Chains A and B, each alone.
Chain A
Amino acid sequence: MKPVKLLSTALAFVLALGVSGSVLAQAKDWKEIKKPALRPFKMQQPMRVALPNGTVIFLQEDHELPLVNGYIVIRGGSRDEAAEKTGLVDLYGEVWRTGGTKTKTGDELDDFLEARAAKVETGGDADSTTISWNSLKGDFDSTFAVVVDLIRNPEFRDDKLGIAKSQMNTGIARRNDDPMGIASREATRLGYGKDNPYARIAEYDTVSAVTRDDLVAWHKKYVHPNNMIVGIVGDFDARAMEQKLRKALGALPKGPQATTAKIAMSPAKPGVYFVKKDDVTQSNIRMVHAGVRKDDPDYYTLQVMNELFGGGFSARLFTNIRTKKGLAYSVGGGVGSQYDHQGLFTLQMSTKSGSTVAAVDALYEEIDKLQNEPISDVEMRRAKDSILNSFIFQYDSKQKVLNQQLMLEYFGYPKDFLEKYQAAVEGVTAAQVSAAAKKHIRKGDIAVLVVGKDADFDAPLSKYGTVTPIDVTIPDPGASKAPAAPAAGSAEGKALMMKAVEAMGGNAKLAGLKSYRMVSTLNVKGPMGEMALDADETTIFPDRQRQVLKTPMGEMTMVVSGNAGFMSMAGNLRDLPGSQTKGMLDSIRDTPMWLGGRASDPAYTFAITGDAKVGEVDTKILEISGDGIRVKWCIDPKSGDLLRTIKSSPQGEQIVDFSDFRDVSGIRLPFKGALRTANEDTGKFEVKSMELNPQIDESIFVKPAQ
């Protein structure tokens, strides 16, 4: 009996085991869960091909989906562009593609590619430009043909440059709408220096300065096979693809090797910086100073430090400032690194206005703790585990491995940079992290930046020392053109001016002109088509003007008086921006009627700067400057008639050609004019009536109560 009983017990035991094993295993406590070793895994490496002309190609087969993606990285980036043309590489990166090729416009390329759901795009970055493409594999040849055509025969059509500029200007106009954007931008400028090539920003003027010729010249300078690295991944045979590329790119002749001038850091002085932004409820805080290069001996130590300090969900900044204190939704940071130049040490955080200073204190406190308190083994282990256990994600797709190899090749790093990483991280000690924290985070070098509404802060920022305000006002178009000194005045210039003044009615008549009222018709050409407007303009020299325009949308009134200006339309009253007020004031003082009266004013100089043909007439160009005004007149030297005025503007030269001269109270004035801006016809005007020194009710210049 006994054995039977034993057997049945054993059976029951085995059965029970079986049941729990196959159908419902017991849920375990997580600490008891076994983690089998990861299966041995080495991601397929791309095939590397070097062409005789210097192009390096990486080919990575991936047959999972019927797609092919590729990109070419080309040396030369925005850090290499001229400061006064900041934005050039951004524009190049856009217009290279949208501007089309010699034989196909960008629009035609759009139609061709989109019909295939294929993409070819170009772009510009700090250290490189790129051309990339992707398509279904059956469309590879036709898509890649577009890429090659863009490399060999780009056209950079002007109309697309115009659109790209307009889009960049939109970005400039809006860059202060987003407080986080302000903080990131200004922190970079504090860290590298505001004019440093890694930090400087495009302005209306630097965008305006870029021409099609600049884009053509950039392409000619940089886009050569010896400056290119190509990477392609997808559903293809690497050998066959190699042959295709040899054929398509192998014939490109070598060009000059691209080089980058050494760029020195020029950081702002350490201290507290403040950007006032009153339409927010939250402050954006940054702490910043210079970081390291990826080949720094402390690089791996810093990766561990960053992980435990500001990296993920379990890092100190997140745990202590977000979770414990509830001070922030977004908080993090660390010592940043770049391949061929220093990155930045940055801490970032946003908190409600009322806890701004508490937040800055909290960040300082974390830095102190990191530098002065020993780091526990548990924390070290956690940080290393986090890096090492997730290491597989550095190379878990064929595309990622391709990207890494390409990047290492581009910056001349060893191919096994990534493989060394694991062993190096494992070897980092707590003492090394503490030492690195002291060496690479330097409290005395930190620039603290706060973007926010200071009226609501919990305490003044002056707690940390002198607060330097940063003015983020967007410079108006033309602001940078503190133009070259005007041409020196000359006797010939003065004589030509006198001749023009005589033709207009004489110095005495013009000097006696105090005001006028002019009714005219304007024909304006714009993107929306042509529009005719009736205009009624009353001016008292030198600084009061009222313009009433009848537009299809209703009557619009613009008034400038002294330094203030306003406009009203359909019952809406609004102040004119400063720049627009200034524009109107300038336009009062640069009219021929007013300048004609200044011929004997010592504040003005007159210089002949060249010749120009206006219609059939050979004219002399007279540059008049004084009192902040600068304008060119094209004068017929025989009759003295002023046939054309030329003014510079951010949009380009503004030209007015005059005709139909008539006598008004002894002064000879043009009754017709044709307007051009940057060589494009922008409209014309015709004077209906002109009254000089009329009776004027001065109340028309006063802003009505709202």
Chain B
Amino acid sequence: MRKTLMVMALATLLLSTAPAMFAQDIASFEKRIKVETLDNGLTLIVMERPEAPVFSFFIHVDAGSSQELAGQSGLAHMFEHMAFKGTDVIGTTNYAEEKKALEKVESTYRAYELERRKLAGRDDTKVAALEKAWKDSIAEADKFVVKNEFGEIVDREGGVGLNAFTSNDETGYFYSFPANRIEVWAYLESERFLKPVMREFYKERDVVFEERRMRIESNPIGRLVEQFLAAAFTAHPYGRSGVGWPSDLSSYSASDAKLFFDQHYVPSNMVVAVVGDVKAAEVSALVKTYFGRIPKSPKPEPIRTVEPQQNSERTVVIKDPAQPFYIEGYHRPSTFDKDDAVYAVISDLMTSGRTSRLYRSLVRDKKIAAAAAGFSGFPGEKYPNLFAFYAVPTPGHTPAEMQAAIREDIEKLKTADVTADDLNMVKTRAKANLIRGLANNQGLAIQLATAQDRFGDWREVFRQVDAIDKVTAADVRRVANATFVESNRTVGIVESTKMATAPAGGQE
């Protein structure tokens, strides 16, 4: 008895030392991080981390697919691809001539598109002729192109992990360089957003369409999720295909992409984070020299549409030869909501590890699913979004069983308090996960830039853990009761037309 008490006391002591350790770390970060805003509105964060002579960067642009207008779904992602196509210096043999050729591509394309899209009175011979004129002008412009020169320079200078992503909320560009390439970096990344050239746009559009075929059309979960989000969001752009609806993807032009760039890739809408073996003062000077050239421009207006309150359950069922799958989602407020941390706690409680509720219920005890999770921020988090639950049935089990089991766990959230032990576990894990996330340059750059852009302060990375620490059992019940209700729900099901006849598993 006495021994147990001692062990418990010791455990408490150990746990209570963790936050102290942690606070020290924020202090050490404070010392190593410099933030400044350039005259043109661009925000720069530099963190000195001289572990090895390398650095990583992340450029966060506060524009994602949510910023697209109707008829332009996928354009934010399309521009992201174009940001690898070079500038008026990189990727061309003669920009003056290329520019003229590219203008012709745009005018011939517009003529072709207007005829092609006519609802009545379309002249197919004319369409064919206009298409030929357009394709000929592409071939003409192509003569001036030096293929992939931008990526080639990055490769040759020793860059690794060159990539970018576009989400519903934002677009990000990143890679890592040896430390002695800091000025090359400042040049490349500023030129890229100072004078991008929309060359090879229509070939790249084909490439992006292949991406759509891969991620959505040829993937059963992709097919379901696209329809599921379209059902869940009736007004807000979160309901639109991020990679783009096929019609939009085969219609928009290089001029459309350039317009999107002009509006959204303004310095006031961008945060640049550099982490690694660099000197903050040197980076600051270089960024002023190179990125300072980007003209000042006001931050675009926030979008107007807010998803109206859902007042009836919606269901999407895809009958598919693939194996069954189940997902359900409930609208929740954006990441700026005061209850954001409560959702984070619920997600962790339901999903993290083998002690999570969904694992224990669906995988371990009922043995009906191979995996199950509940997560937030779907498909983005900047605007009101979905808290979603999904489960992957084991052979022989159906979406209906997943639904019943998930609902059982949701009901528990609403009717019973989370135990103190469980809540502590979630909080301890949040702290440890934060620390684990601080171990590499690229991860740090992404976290710092994103928090800086979202909340105006990189320290929010740390504050989110504090917010989680304050969540109570009553908060969890309150939020679960407010959120997880039928009229606020959208259900998505892959109903298999060829159910597997596998052993039901379980027994030996």
Contact = CB atoms under 8 A, between A and B. Distances in A.
A398 B213 CA distance: 40
Given A65-B435, A165-B505, A386 B158 contact: yes
B52 A396 contact: yes
Given A26-B289, A27-B290, A326-B206, A162 B502 contact: no
Contact of B180 (A36, A204, A391): A36
Given A114-B429, A138-B17, A396-B54, A169 B502 contact: yes
A26 B203 CA distance: 36
Contacts of A134: 436
B280 to A, nearest CB: 15
A169 B395 contact: yes
A16 interface: no
Interface size class of B (residues with CB under 8 A): 35 or more
B126 interface: no
Interface in B310-342: 320-323
B249 to A, nearest CB: 12
A161 B505 CA distance: 10
A652 B54 CA distance: 57
Nearest to B81: A329
B193 interface: no
Contacts of B371: 167
B3 interface: no
Contacts of A24: 288-289, 292
Interface string B427-453: 011011101101110000000000000
Given A35-B184, A98-B354, A390-B160, A328 B289 contact: no
B357 to A, nearest CB: 12
Interface string A277-288: 001111000000
A364 interface: no
B507 A25 contact: no
Interface size class of A (residues with CB under 8 A): 35 or more
Contacts of A138: 14, 17-18
Q: Could you say which of B209, B217, B288, B506 has the most chain A C-beta atoms within 10 Å of its C-beta?
A: B506
A312 B178 contact: no
B124 interface: no
Contacts of A403: none
B499 A382 contact: no
Interface in A24-75: 24-30, 33-39, 41, 43, 64-67
Q: Could you say which of B208, B209, B367, B393 has the most chain A C-beta atoms within 10 Å of its C-beta?
A: B367
A330 B210 CA distance: 8
B157 interface: yes
Contact of B323 (A28, A177, A352, A385): A177
A34 B421 CA distance: 58
Nearest to B205: A326
B172 to A, nearest CB: 17
Contact of A330 (B152, B160, B200, B214): B214
A580 B501 contact: yes
Given A138-B14, A323-B148, A325-B203, A41 B52 contact: yes
Q: Could you say which of B18, B208, B218, B435 has the most chain A C-beta atoms within 10 Å of its C-beta?
A: B218
A136 interface: yes
Given A114-B353, A116-B428, A527-B506, A177 B322 contact: yes
Interface string B4-40: 0000000000100110010001000000000000000
Q: Could you say which of B401, B429, B432 has the most chain A C-beta atoms within 10 Å of its C-beta?
A: B432
Interface string B278-302: 0000000110111011000000000
A603 interface: no
B176 interface: yes
Contacts of B14: 138-139
Nearest to B246: A281
A314 B155 contact: yes
A173 B502 CA distance: 7
Given A98-B354, A392-B178, A169 B394 contact: yes
Interface string A90-128: 000000001000000011001100111111000000000
B53 interface: yes
A38 B507 contact: no
A67 B148 contact: no
A705 interface: no
A29 B181 CA distance: 14
Contacts of B155: 312-314, 382, 385-386, 390
Contact of B217 (A174, A282, A326, A574): A282
A456 B179 CA distance: 50
B503 A477 contact: yes
Contact of A163 (B148, B363, B428): B363
Interface in B46-96: 51-54, 84, 89-90
Contacts of B153: 30
B387 to A, nearest CB: 22
B294 to A, nearest CB: 11
Contacts of B507: 162, 651-652, 677-678, 680
Interface string A244-283: 0000000000000000000000000000000000011110
A282 B503 contact: no
Given A41-B53, A652-B507, A677-B507, A110 B499 contact: no
A386 to B, nearest CB: 4
Nearest to B215: A329
Given A527-B368, A528-B366, A650-B503, A38 B200 contact: no
A39 B277 CA distance: 10
Contacts of B367: 162-163, 166, 527
B207 A329 contact: yes
15 contacts: A107-B354, A111-B355, A114-B429, A115-B428, A119-B353, A166-B506, A167-B371, A170-B394, A279-B218, A282-B214, A313-B84, A323-B148, A351-B210, A393-B158, A677-B507
The 6 residue pairs across chains A and B that have the minimum distance between CB atoms: A389-B158, A166-B505, A313-B151, A117-B432, A314-B152, A326-B206
Interface of A: 22-30, 33-39, 41, 43, 64-67, 98, 106-107, 110-111, 114-119, 134, 136, 138-139, 158, 161-163, 165-167, 169-174, 177-180, 204, 208, 211-212, 279-282, 312-314, 318-320, 322-330, 350-352, 381-382, 385-386, 388-393, 395-398, 474, 476-477, 527-528, 553, 574, 577, 579-580, 650-652, 677-678, 680
